[in-house]
Structure 1
Amino acid sequence: MGHYQRLLLIADRTLHQSPAMLRAVALAKASGAVLDVRVFVEPAPIVHLWEEKVDEAEYQRYLRRYRRWESDEVERLTGQGLDVTVEVVFTTHPLMDILKTVEALKPDLLIKDVTLEPTLKRVFITPLDCHLLRECPISVHLVNQARYELPHRVVAAVDPFDPSTQISGLNDTIIQTANALALQCDAPLHLLYAYDLSPVFNSDAPLAGGGWGVGVIEELRESLHLAFVTLAERYNIPPERRHFVMGLPMPVISEFVEEYLADVVVMGTVHRVGIDRLIGSNTERALYSVPGSILAVRPSVTG
């Protein structure tokens, strides 16, 4: 997996400089990639004053604001030596138009700021960010904060014992994507596996008398660790950057990010249906619980 060739930035609708903008520009400089900047905003408002006439002056002011921004951004970014395109897209269906843009441009990576939505709102309305995680066919880098413009530490969060990730090759995709990012940023790559033994302890089977004995639990832990080590050695990740931690994924990842000041966590995302779709994946929950930023990949992503 080589350097990025094309990056797509979904710019903030306020047109202000944002963490995602800083990250996208830094990655484009580091990789030499083309940077496509798009902002998706509501169409120009039609204001009726009298006799169903349009307030033409207000309409033109609205358009001029965005056209001026397009021109200013092209000048600013090309002045930094970047190969860029900048476009304002007026739309009432941003998700659909973002996916159309991805299909047309075929970028290696989509970059966007995390939009923090209230919990109650998320119960009734799926945020755009979650839709992108579920439906975008390419890797999605959702930037919550950018302590550094280029990441200083990248973490690949894997689950080598889950049969579904082994069959789909998702763990390999996660590590390859994380390694590509780390190489382009000259940052160390860490491998993290949060393994959860709580189902064993919460089982109806007693720990004694034919149930889950201490020896059986230790064997299970050793088998999990062996799968993790095997995966780490396949990618030559040094022992000091391997982290095998017992606990639920979200708390473990959050604590790890805070302790190691990790900038990006690379995670896998899969299509979900039924109640799992309503609850959301670990990657979706990470948007609102993990400090820093995430980079979500699908099993089919190879570049």
Structure 2
Amino acid sequence: MDIYQSILVVIDPSNEDQKALKRAIELVSKIQTLLPEKHIKITAFFSIFDFSYEMTTILSSDDRDSMRELVIKEKQQWLNDLIDDLNVDIKIHSKVVWNNRPYEAIVKQVIGHNHDLVIKGTHHHDKFKSVVFTPTDWHILRKCPCPVLLVKDHAWPKQGNILAALNVGSDEAEHLSLNNRITEQAKNIAQLITANVHLVNSYPGTPVNIAIEIPEFDASEYNHAMHEHHQKAMIVHANNFNIPLANTYVEEGLPEAVIEETALKIDAELVVLGTVGRTGISAALIGNTAEQVIDLLNCDVLALKPDGYVSPLAE
């Protein structure tokens, strides 16, 4: 059973309820209950930047550095007090850095210190603004090399449900490997929190242009063949991981819509899915399934990268 060894928790200074930190404590407590010999490191991380300090031109460079250090020290004390107020037995380290790009500070911290999980609270994003100003969450999903757990206000009760979103219709090695990784992570967490694992897979319906341009094209037969192909692949995958077929769902539609509908149907506590790390124009115009799902779901989302992914910030 793969267990997280080093968890980076992103602190939200604008919110008194540090739900990401609470989720990390809950997760580590469950790991240590199941595997008491394991020692997991939690690092509470806070990135701060105040443009006014950078624009204080009447001060020398050394003076500006000193002012920044004072601000960092003050926030470090605030963070330490916040941790002390939690009054938990788990050791929590703290770190405050100066950076005007929070996502960059987070990803570089992950790369430089080999964290194997990032936990961050999230909220709804305005879709129009998101095209122009990519939210920190989306940047992290695209560029962070380790799994990212985005936390909402949703409990993890015993005998709850975890939904693993797959792409079983593809024979590509990258997709097959990612499907396995997603399912393994879902089963590991399910073991920790005593939950049930469900699998979901979407497939596209008949392309409209084909149905229009080729009158003899049998859309019904095409849809049936697509469903059969994905259903057979799902059965094989579920059997490989000893997951009951009653806990599998193969539905026609867009991935984000099918994932949302299934998560609501089973009242999922957590959705585990893969993200391709798309960047640039394609990311802005098309978006990633993981990014779309964040805003649609009312539960936590765990996003995983394919094996061998290298963050652009690692260069």
Q: Please state which band the TM-score falls in when normalised by the shorter chain.
A: 0.7 to 0.9
Partner in structure 2 of residue 155 of structure 1? 163
| Residue aligned with 2:100, SS | coil
- 1:67 shift after superposition: 3.3
CA contact (8 A) 2:164 2:198 kept: yes
Q: Select 2:147's aligned residue among 127, 139, 142.
A: 139
The answer to whether 1:176 aligns with 2:184 is yes
The answer to whether 1:87 aligns with 2:61 is no
Partner in structure 2 of residue 103 of structure 1? 111
Q: Work out the CA distance in 2 between the residues paired with 1:273 and 1:63.
A: 31
Pair 1:94–1:188, CA change in 2 (3 A): same
Partner in structure 2 of residue 127 of structure 1? 135
Partner in structure 1 of residue 268 of structure 2? 262
Aligned partner letter, 2:301: I
Give per-residue Cα distances to partners, 1:6-64, cap 9 Å, x unaligned: 21101112262232222111112112322111111224954999x8799xxx9899556
CA contact (8 A) 1:157 1:265 kept: yes
The answer to whether 1:8 aligns with 2:8 is yes
Q: Select 2:48's aligned residue among 24, 41, 47.
A: 41
CA contact (8 A) 2:170 2:176 kept: no
| Superposition TM-score, scaled by structure 2 size | 0.82
Q: Select 2:288's aligned residue among 281, 293, 296.
A: 281
Pair 1:120–1:166, CA change in 2 (3 A): closer
Pair 1:249–1:202, CA change in 2 (3 A): farther
Partner in structure 1 of residue 298 of structure 2? 291
Q: Work out the CA distance in 1 between the residues paired with 2:280 and 2:210.
A: 25
Q: Work out the CA distance in 1 between the residues paired with 2:227 and 2:51.
A: 59
- 1:172 shift after superposition: 0.9
Using the aligned pairs only, state the percent identity.
Answer: 25
Instruction: Give unpaired runs (5+ residues) of structure 1.
Output: none
Q: Work out the CA distance in 2 between the residues paired with 1:274 and 1:100.
A: 20
- 1:297 shift after superposition: 0.4
Pair 1:17–1:259, CA change in 2 (3 A): same
Range moving further from structure 2, 59-68 or 275-284: 59-68
Q: Select 1:243's aligned residue among 239, 249, 255.
A: 249
Q: Select 1:71's aligned residue among 70, 73, 80.
A: 80
CA contact (8 A) 2:177 2:306 kept: yes
The answer to whether 1:252 aligns with 2:261 is no
Aligned-residue CA RMSD (Å): 3.2
CA contact (8 A) 2:167 2:202 kept: yes
Aligned partner letter, 1:241: N
Pair 1:224–1:46, CA change in 2 (3 A): closer
CA contact (8 A) 2:119 2:149 kept: yes
Q: Work out the CA distance in 2 between the residues paired with 1:149 and 1:14.
A: 27
Pair 1:205–1:83, CA change in 2 (3 A): same
Pair 1:85–1:243, CA change in 2 (3 A): same
